[in-house]
Structure 1
């Protein structure tokens, strides 16, 4: 058990909050490029992939240049890698506005247009734009490694979901859900008002009857004030198999959609080593809108 607990470290929101706030802002810079991509249900195209050292955008293509942006959390730098070269923008010290200016200069050198929007989205009390965020910040390597570790472990569980084939008379897009009804399962560090580190889930539209359900893992519970089912990180890391617990949690949420919201139980075929889900990568990083 001690080996497992060491692999799934203790996460205290107050200790991680300054770095979570910093990372959440800077990753939105490259995230703006993905907002230019063709729309995908649930903004799945904005998700950053978890790499062995950080977070990466999908491969992006503009006229005359193909590139990707890698936020190397374990190295404290951002690498813009293009077919005509690469540039590294450090994160060691400075403000978000300074980082944004340096990022745009590096992108210009590679023939990549600057992000079309500089809005800071979905962060309470943040300035409206990257250029307006002048708070001096210092990179904390230890906190950055804890953040990456949590994202990597959560990703390992979320990616256990297996894509399935829809029934023969249903179109393939039904693998990717629909605009009006969906289940979302993800990981969050929380925020100052709700420092809830751990897994979360919701069903949209929200059905009745969620308060009395079991959610597959001891400690998981419906939180009506937030409209979310939460599985605290502290409870997750104490389970016999945290990876399987994430799968069980997501599976229980889908079962709740079937039983309380009238979802068809056979929409995506039989369960295969996980829960029912599309091929869209799991949402580990906060979605951006704007």
Structure 2
């Protein structure tokens, strides 16, 4: 059986930015249900799974229902699937009468109530500079762009495939690869049992994430978060960083030609156009992640023996079981 070709499409920031901004707000509605869940080191319990159709929350178990929220980017809707039934909130709408985050939030809460699910525990929009305070306040007209939604899903899907391969041999604590609903970035993180001191003036959720040393590699649709004022800057791509940030990161090789350390951002960046030009972009993601971890070993004392063998799989489809 031949493997389906995985084409790495061109992703242009200017074309995708409006839908990225819209989706970042939408996924926070379903993601907010994780706020009252027990904290898992690395926020592994909050990430959204990249599915064959979009982005889905973990399964929530509440007094009213057991449910998930599936943001189906390829279908233009959001599905609440619960033990009490399902409800679908369309996002495509009528192009002549665009919707808004506020109207979606109202429709979502109405649908959730029909399934015995309380509204999200917080209506606040977070981690989006310039956004209104709450979902109810966001009345900006929004038009669904199916082509942009598909490209956004493809970016997450392809990057997730590579980051899952990178994570596979790590034998320490590693939350599942997934999209952080706050910043809308795909994250793959490795933790080390080394308590660290969080930065005091940061939000509480960031301080919780800085309780232990970690290495993070991920994918984002705005790696510079607007810090680079050059409109031609490549904002979409992979990032990597080490917490706490060690010295000695200047002048290192980052596994893929074109990847570079940005001291102004505290990130190693691999732009998407550079990645998709590689002979094997999937393996380039793995090489980039390996280089970031190698830097942690060399500059921050991370254990080189925390990696098991990297193998292609069990091969059980081709190898008969013993005996």
Q: TM-score by structure 2 length?
A: 0.77
Shift in Å, 1:5: 11
1:32 aligned partner: 32
1:185 aligned partner: 217
Q: Is 2:230 aligned against 1:198?
A: no
Correspondence list, 1:1-290, <5 A = 7-92=7-92, 93-160=98-165, 161-165=167-171, 176-178=191-193, 179-190=211-222, 191-194=225-228, 196-266=235-305, 268-273=306-311
Any conservation in 2 of the 1:29–1:118 contact (CA below 8 Å)?
yes
Shift in Å, 1:36: 2.0
Structure-2 change in CA distance of 1:142 and 1:105 (3 Å)? same
Shift in Å, 1:40: 1.1
Q: TM-score by structure 1 length?
A: 0.86
Structure-2 change in CA distance of 1:180 and 1:164 (3 Å)? closer
Shift in Å, 1:163: 4.9
Bigger mean CA deviation after superposition, 32-41 or 54-63: 32-41
Structure-2 change in CA distance of 1:231 and 1:96 (3 Å)? same
2:187 aligned partner: none
- For the aligned residue pairs, the C-alpha RMSD in angstroms reads 1.9
Shift in Å, 1:177: 3.2
Structure-2 change in CA distance of 1:165 and 1:150 (3 Å)? closer
- 1:65-111 CA-partner distances (Å, limit 9, x unpaired): 11111001011100000011100111124110111111011111100
Q: Hey, what's the Cα distance between the residues in 2 that align with 1:6 and 1:114?
A: 38
Q: Hey, what's the Cα distance between the residues in 1 that align with 2:245 and 2:12?
A: 30
Q: Hey, what's the Cα distance between the residues in 1 that align with 2:311 and 2:17?
A: 34
Any conservation in 2 of the 1:5–1:238 contact (CA below 8 Å)?
no
Give the secondary-structure state (helix, strand or coil) at the position aligned to 1:41.
Answer: coil
Q: Hey, what's the Cα distance between the residues in 1 that align with 2:103 and 2:301?
A: 50
Structure-2 change in CA distance of 1:236 and 1:211 (3 Å)? same
Task: Give ranges in structure 1 of 5+ residues lacking alignment.
Answer: 167-174, 275-290
Shift in Å, 1:192: 4.5
Structure-2 change in CA distance of 1:218 and 1:21 (3 Å)? same
Shift in Å, 1:270: 3.1
Shift in Å, 1:176: 4.5
Any conservation in 2 of the 1:55–1:73 contact (CA below 8 Å)?
yes
Any conservation in 2 of the 1:41–1:177 contact (CA below 8 Å)?
no
Any conservation in 1 of the 2:59–2:66 contact (CA below 8 Å)?
yes
Structure-2 change in CA distance of 1:216 and 1:273 (3 Å)? farther
Give the secondary-structure state (helix, strand or coil) at the position aligned to 1:79.
Answer: strand
Structure-2 change in CA distance of 1:273 and 1:15 (3 Å)? farther
Task: Give ranges in structure 2 of 5+ residues lacking alignment.
Answer: 93-97, 173-189, 194-210, 229-233, 313-323
Q: Hey, what's the Cα distance between the residues in 2 that align with 1:201 and 1:182?
A: 11
Q: Hey, what's the Cα distance between the residues in 1 that align with 2:146 and 2:113?
A: 28
Q: Hey, what's the Cα distance between the residues in 1 that align with 2:121 and 2:221?
A: 28
Q: Hey, what's the Cα distance between the residues in 1 that align with 2:49 and 2:99?
A: 25
Shift in Å, 1:265: 1.8
Give the secondary-structure state (helix, strand or coil) at the position aligned to 1:187.
Answer: strand
Bigger mean CA deviation after superposition, 234-243 or 190-199: 190-199
